[in-house]
Amino acid sequence: MGDIPTSPDIIFRCKGSPLAAAIKSAGISFPLPKSGLILVGEQTNILLKHTQLIHLRGKAVKMASSSSYNSPCAACKLLRRKCMPGCIFAPYFPPEEPQKFVNVHKIFGASNVTKLLNELLPHQREDAVNSLAFEAEARVRDPVYGCVGAITFLQRQVQKLQKELDAANADLIRFACNDIPTALPQAPGTSSFQPLTPRNRLAEFNRRNIGNEGGGFYQVPGALPYSFPWNDASPDDINDGGEGGM
Amino acid sequence: MKESSRKHGSLSPCAACKLLRRRCAPDCVFAPYFPADEPQKFASVHKVFGASNVNKMLQELPEQQRSDAVSSMVYEANARVRDPVYGCVGAISSLQQQIGSLQTQLARAQAEVVHMRMRHLASTSDYPAGTGSTENKLMASQSKSFYYMDTVDQANITESLWSY
């Protein structure tokens, strides 16, 4: 694969994070979109605007419908056609965000986007447009890997964290085994910081690694929606990994 | 791949030209990456991106990068076919959630390791429990690994692919 492209600073957060506070101060109100998808960062300000549009949907629709008589949506402007009142693009590509549609049109094409949106329910279209816009921008910036580069980067992060977690749990097991002569009996329901017998420690280790709380994400590939084509570092695997959704 | 499809004398069209019902020229840009025996690969890419967009994108890339580009496009297209709303952005979201969960678990496990080490030292050391210097050294070395992941993440994040 050569140099792995580093990802943009993609952060998905829920309420309560400093990011959420920043979004709030930018004028976006809660609740967050159903997708929980928030893209922020110094280099991804334009993507944040996509999220802003989710929360300002009412305003955007109103602007689009009222402005369609005066000003066409970004899609119709680029396509040089009359923006009709029922234009499928108008709610999602306002005229003040021309670059969003430019990217989407460049990568996917207006007719493909139309077909895709027509196949979706109206309440799904916003998220679909925002994800398309994200992918399109990623592809414009990285024509070779697009947003798959970010997936690869995140996948490696997951693997690294899992290894570190396994190492820390192995340390705990070792301590637990060394504590055999000094371990005190453990009452049920007490906190994990109380000393455990080696058998309980081993059970805890297994629970963390096999159960819901543990490394199930790494050890149970089915938990992910897709397998990733570039799990191995070997560049020779690239050409074999084109299937993605398995 | 181009050569093998032409080897036996028959000009068997690549999967792209077969789907588009056109003559597969010897210099067809799709032929090396969309062999005739993998029709589904091009079908999903064509559905999501469109043949002309793929053609344009490949033409803009040097030849040595086209294979990776096609692989990533196929991956994105398959993801979009499976999940028409989120596509592979859903996978990014899922991975990010996993990372958050793993970081929490790791922090907890490392805190417990520190705790166990301190207990172990206290029970085996000649010094009385709670000696500041020993505990401080332990905490200092442990806090390095606590924050290692964050500092690595920050370093990677600042090397953003998307910096201007």
What would the 3-class secondary structure string for B68-87 be?
HHHHHHHHHHHHHHHCCCCC
Contacts of A172 in chain B (CB under 8 A): 109, 112-113, 116
Alpha-carbon Rg of chain B, whole angstroms?
Answer: 27
Distance between A54 CA and the closest CA of chain B, angstroms: 14
- Per-residue model confidence as pLDDT tens digits over A25-38: 444 333 334 444 44
Beta-carbon contacts of A235 under 8 Å, excluding residues fewer than 6 positions away, are A1, A2
- Per-residue model confidence as pLDDT tens digits over A4-18: 344 444 333 434 444
Contacts of A212 in chain B (CB under 8 A): none
Residue in B72, B106, B153 nearest the CB of A168 = B106
Measured between alpha carbons, how far is A66 from A58 in angstroms, rounded to an integer? 12
The pLDDT of residue A2: 41
Measured between alpha carbons, how far is B80 from A104 in angstroms, rounded to an integer? 14
CA-based end-to-end distance of chain B: 37
Measured between alpha carbons, how far is A204 from A196 in angstroms, rounded to an integer? 9
Sign of the dihedral through C-alpha B125, B130, B132, B138:
positive
Residue of B nearest to A41 (CA): B157
Q: How much is the average pLDDT of A63-76?
A: 68
Contacts of A224 in chain B (CB under 8 A): 91, 94-95
Angle of CA points B129, B143, A13, to nearest 5°: 135
The pLDDT of residue A165: 96
CA-based end-to-end distance of chain A: 21
Tokens of A19: 């990011």
The pLDDT of residue A62: 45
Distance between B79 CA and the closest CA of chain A, angstroms: 6
Helix (H/G/I), strand (E/B), else coil: A60:
helix
The pLDDT of residue B138: 52
Closest CA to A129 of A113, A145, A107: A113
Angle of CA points A133, A5, B144, to nearest 5°: 115
Distance between B8 CA and the closest CA of chain A, angstroms: 24
Across A28-42, A76-90, A105-119, least confident range: A28-42
B77 has a pLDDT exceeding 90:
yes
- Per-residue model confidence as pLDDT tens digits over B89-130: 999 999 999 999 999 999 999 999 999 888 888 887 655 555
Q: What is the ipTM of this complex?
A: 0.70
Contact A225 B72 (CB under 8 A): no
Closest CA to A29 of A46, A52, A50: A52
Helix (H/G/I), strand (E/B), else coil: A18:
helix
* DSSP-assigned states of every residue in A165-221: HHHHHHHHHHHHHHTTTTPPPPPTT--TTS---HHHHHHHHHHHHHSTTTTHHHH-G
φ, ψ of residue A26 in degrees (nearest 5): -80, 0
Contacts of A102 in chain B (CB under 8 A): none
Residue of A nearest to B55 (CA): A107
Contact A225 B94 (CB under 8 A): yes
Residue of A nearest to B78 (CA): A245
The pLDDT of residue A185: 53
Q: Does residue A237 belong to the interface with chain B, where contact is any CB pair within 8 Å? A: no
